[in-house]
Structure 1
Amino acid sequence: MRRSSSAAAVIGAAVVLLSGACGTAGEKPLSQPVATASPAAEQRVHDPSGVLVHLFQWPWADVAAECPALAAAGYTGVQLSPPQEHAVLPGHPWWQDYQPVSYTLTSRRGDRAALAAMVETCHRAGVKIYADAVVNHMTAQAAGTGSAGTAFTHYTYPDQPAGSFHTPCAVQDYGDRDQVQQCELLGLADLATETEPVRSRLAAYLNDLLSLGVDGFRIDAAKHLPAADLRAILDLLDRPAVVWSEVLYSPTEPIQPTEYRDLGATLEPRYADTVSRAFRNGTLTSLADLGAQTGSPFTDLLPSTGSVVYVDSHDSQRNGSTLTHADGPLHTLAVQFMLAWPYGTPLVMSSFAYDGFDDGPPADAAGRTRSVVCDGKAFVCEHRLPAVRALLSWREAVGDAPVTAWWAQGDALAFARGSGYFVVNRAPTPMTRTFETGLPAGRYRDVVSGQTADVDGAGRLTLTVPATTAAALLPS
């Protein structure tokens, strides 16, 4: 949830949301790896691993049907949309799901039985399931009925006892810690998470999900509840769970992601902003130090271990801060780069098509989400793109190998990792170049196009890369 384009609130009638020969130009000798590999053996116990996909607003039955194909492609986990009962609003906007009414497991995507069956099916396929957990607040509505038929008012809900909310006030100053964590984000009734009854009820909800086999949680709007409160809630869980928290970063604000890192991973949205900026402007040389802790405000990211990264999210694709599926090949290139580059745990966005900011997923007259059709007109399903799936196999093959033989110039970049070599041509024309790969001599196959090319005894590779595409080579 982003502060200005979040899963957010309706106040009254207004919606408030939320080419050339081999040379030295652009080459950078590497005495140290550019970035550390995504954590493996050192993986912290509460961090996600592998490659995740956010099947945004997918019904539970469709997630279940997709899991065998996800496992075959190399995805290790799915982020779900919030599973609890949510407000039902006119037009059925996407963000109504982020306004909890109760912790009954009935949403527009299915009921408890469908959720449980989906988790079991996905586990059989080897795919883990992570729920988006909304624990900071309830709704912003004066009154209404939830997706399971529960009646509510703004401060009265069956699953929250009296005294569960902070005194109403609005978050206006993000430089004021108390205001951010004790006032209402966009009018959403703010839970008093410092109190034992609220903590116990939230923990009971998370434990209920764990009892169905859910493997962990994305904590929505974690910045808006103190880290101590979230820690106290997680301490009540019946078993260890993977956790990553949404804590948006600003250097001028008092609440920082580092406060939440001992609870599990945190999202690193600056990664998305940096990668999107580079691919939009064609300044790919700026990506050389991505994640190398250089001190630059654009590259001084949180450590790779404990960071979940993405090119776009359900929030950022609506506020214009990152590339999205609407950017076509540029977005695909950025996702391929994310999968090739050894920083953090990648989260691939899988969207539904939309025209307006508020648009919800394809639905029937009652607002129930329709079964997924990946035609680009209903659901976009970026995670199914062959060019993206190819990078999953490349990533698995190179493992934790660091970046070597980095080269970048204008619209192009290239680097080696272990036995693999990755090249991006962002330009609108083909690029032919001889690269100094440092790889052993032999024949290599591009897992994206299927074409083969030879590396000579000096480690040189001559390759033509079509316009706005990437090549990812492995020994043939």
Structure 2
Amino acid sequence: MKAVVNILIILSFTFGVIRSVSADTILHAFNWKYSEVAAKANQIAQAGYKQVLVAPAMKSSGDQWWARYQPQDYRVIDSPLGNKEDFVNMIQALKKVGVEVYADVVLNHMANESWKRSDLNYPGTDVLADYKNRSSYYAKQTLFGDLSQELFSANDFHPAGCITDWNDPGNVQYWRLCGGNGDTGLPDLDPNNWVVSQQRLYLQALKDLGVKGFRIDAVKHMSQYQIDQIFTPSIISGMYVFGEVITSGGKGDVSYDVFLAPYLNNTTHAAYDFPLFATIRDAFSINGGLNELHDPQAYGAALEGSRAVTFTITHDIPNNDGFRYQIMDPTDETLAYAYILGRDGGTPLVYSDELPASEDKDNGRWKNVWDKTQMVEMIAFHNAMQGKAMTVLHSDHCTLLFKRGKQGIVGINKCGDAQNVTVDTNQYELNWYVDYKDVLSGAKEQITSRYHTFNLPARTARMYMM
């Protein structure tokens, strides 16, 4: 494996201090069982990942992937993906090989159980009875609290009502996420003193187990007051925290201006870089060009690198019908990975799922993405180039060529014909008479004159390392 260069980004703000982190690649082990993550700990480390984002650790039921995002109880880790014992074993297995665990946390709402009961008591009498009947088992799965009592009641929720205006923060943050056909929606938690105290205890308990970061699900639906109350300086100290604020673009887009910009302005957290994702999708479209990726942050089409979690796909995109239009062509997705793993800026996230056949709409397309040879080589390039400055050498409709220091060169050609890109090697200070080897194909490039032409085959990326 190539040497990993850890360049630390210090994030210190008035609101608290987030731990020093390098922009190491996160594996989103979506819907993986905790025991499966533990079993693959060595492979994950060898592939170059330094963090793994795992499924929400709480009490939930139902085999569907979305059931993991419907909490029944924060005080217990017990779901079809594993229990507290499995969770702890996973953390320990990954820690042994130098990989950290980030936990997906769902704090906006509780499970929609209106189909079976009318009250808003959680976890509900059936679950409390199970706690009592299997007390020895649940004693081992408990994070905190008294399992003989309900966690929440009707007083801990906002009034029922579905979101109708997705551009109105008040509507989005105080009403429910609902489906169609009369669905009453996910009960929306009110950040009163009791709710906040329990959510803090939950996060602290995960932190005490060894979790090193939190992904905040649906943070767009939480008020700034709620976020501030839960994520205290002591909770986020030493942690990497990033939120999911879905937008359709960058600066000037309503969803960015109304939701994402205030979230970043009022917290120290990072966030999914949906502005960059929108730019990537447009750049790889028929009418777009890779010149849009020349410097997207300069015109508000990407987040500041130290606050950005970059990606080419998230779990919502293939698994929710309303987002499936954002799925990229497989080749374009690979080229986009070469871009986010080759560029300087952002913490890349690699999505790889484990879904039952009944829920997998794409025939296992993302099942083993994390460990494919091409992905591992791209991560090796990313790790080796951390801290090396990025300079764009050329961009046009079809191609993007940039360097990382003098040690790395990335070339991407999205078009159906080979493209030649000639650069002035004196101007850009590239090394002569040394081999640059493409980690993806093994092809070698050697510069022997001032003007050097890079040949980029059709629909291909090159990631040269000196």
TM-score where L is the length of structure 2: 0.79
Q: Where do 1:361-440 residues align within 5 Å?
A: 377=364, 380-418=367-405, 419-437=407-425, 438=428, 439-440=430-431
Superposed CA RMSD in Å reads 3.0
Q: Which residue of 2 aligns with 1:230?
A: 227
Paired residues of 1:271 and 1:311 also in contact (CA < 8 A): no
2:73 is matched with which residue: 61, 79, 102?
102
Kindly indicate whether the alpha-carbon contact (under 8 Å) linking 1:57 and 1:361 is maintained by their aligned counterparts in 2: no
1:8 aligned partner: none
Alpha-carbon shift at residue 426 of structure 1 (Å): 1.8
Confirm whether residue 446 of structure 1 aligns to residue 423 of structure 2.
Answer: no
- 1:339 CA displacement: 0.7
1:34 corresponds to which residue?
A: none
What residue in structure 2 maps to residue 25 of structure 1? none
Code of the aligned partner of 1:99? Q
Query: How big is the shift at 1:94?
Result: 1.9
- How far 1:276 moved relative to its partner? 1.9
One-letter code of the match for 1:420? G
Higher relative contact order (CA 8 A, sep 6+): 1
Amino acid at match of 2:40: E
Aligned to 2:188: 190
Describe the SS at the equivalent of 1:150.
helix
Q: Which residue number corresponds to residue 310 of structure 2?
A: 309
User: Structure 2: how far apart are the matches of 1:340 and 1:72?
Assistant: 19
SS in 2 for 1:54: strand
Instruction: Report the Cα distance in structure 2 between the residues aligned to 1:174 and 1:93, rounded to whole angstroms.
Output: 26
Looking at structure 1, the residues matched to 37 and 225 of structure 2 have their Cα atoms a distance apart, in angstroms, of: 34
Deviation at 1:248, TM superposition (A): 2.7
Deviates more, 1:389-398 or 1:109-118: 389-398
- Alpha-carbon distance change, 151 to 461 in structure 1, aligned in 2, over 3 angstroms: farther
Q: What is the CA distance between 1:97 and its match in structure 2?
A: 1.2
- Alpha carbons of structure 1 residues 302 and 412: separation in structure 2 relative to 1, 3 Å: closer
8 A Cα contact 2:310 2:349, kept in partner: yes
Distance in 2, matches of 1:148 and 1:269, equals 41
Deviates more, 1:207-216 or 1:68-77: 68-77
Identity across matched positions, percent: 28
From 135, 151, 159, give the equivalent of 1:159.
151
TM-score with structure 1 setting the length: 0.78
Structure 1 residues 207, 405: closer, same or farther in 2, change over 3 A?
A: closer
Residue deviations 1:272-324, cap 9 Å, x none? Answer: 121122123261122112222x25xxx2x332221212111011234134334
What is aligned with 1:125? 97
Asked whether 1:257 is paired with 2:260, we answer yes
Q: 2:279 aligns with which of 274, 279, 283?
A: 274
Contact 1:342 1:402 in 2 (8 A): yes
| Equivalent pair of 1:39/1:344 in contact (CA under 8 Å) | no
SS where residue 280 of structure 1 aligns? Answer: coil
Which has the larger helix fraction? 2
Corresponding position: 1:93 with 2:84: no
Number of residue pairs the alignment of both structures matches = 407
Greater CA drift, 129-138 or 408-417 = 408-417
245 and 376 in structure 1: CA distance in 2 versus 1, 3 angstrom threshold: same
Cα displacement (A) at 1:117: 0.3
Looking at structure 1, the residues matched to 195 and 161 of structure 2 have their Cα atoms a distance apart, in angstroms, of 19
Give runs of aligned pairs for residues 213-224 of structure 1, distance below 5 A: 213-224=210-221
Aligned 8 A contact 1:432 1:462 in 2: yes
In the alignment, residue 217 of structure 1 is paired with which amino acid?
F
Deviation at 1:159, TM superposition (A): 2.2
Deviation at residue 174 of structure 1 after TM alignment: 2.7
Deviations along 1:93-117, whole A, 9 cap, x unmatched? 3211111111210111111101100
Which runs of 5 or more structure 2 residues have no equivalent in the other structure?
Answer: 1-5, 118-122, 130-148, 179-184
Q: Quote the offset at 1:352 in angstroms.
A: 4.0
Instruction: After TM superposition, list the pairs within 5 Å mapping 1:336-355 onto structure 2.
Output: 336-352=338-354
Q: Single out whichever of 460-469 and 223-232 deviates more from structure 2.
A: 460-469
Amino acid at match of 1:232: Q
Distance 2:150 2:368 in 1: 36
AA partner of residue 216 (structure 1): G
8 Å Cα contact 1:52/1:77 also seen in 2: yes
In 1, the alpha carbon distance for the partners of 2:338 and 2:98 equals 23
Bigger Cα displacement from structure 2, 140-149 vs 115-124: 140-149
Partner letter of residue 94 of structure 2? C
Q: Distance in 1 between matches of 2:334 and 2:242?
A: 25
- Please give the secondary structure, in 2, of the residue aligned with 1:46: strand
C-alpha contact 2:438 2:464 (8 A) present in aligned 1: yes
SS at match of 2:220: helix
Q: Determine the structure 2 residue equivalent to 1:211.
A: 208
The 1:140–1:67 alpha-carbon spacing in structure 2 relative to 1, beyond 3 Å, is same
The amino acid that maps onto 1:265 is A
Q: Which runs of 5+ in 1 are unaligned?
A: 1-37, 363-374
Native 8 Å contact 1:107 1:148 kept in 2: no
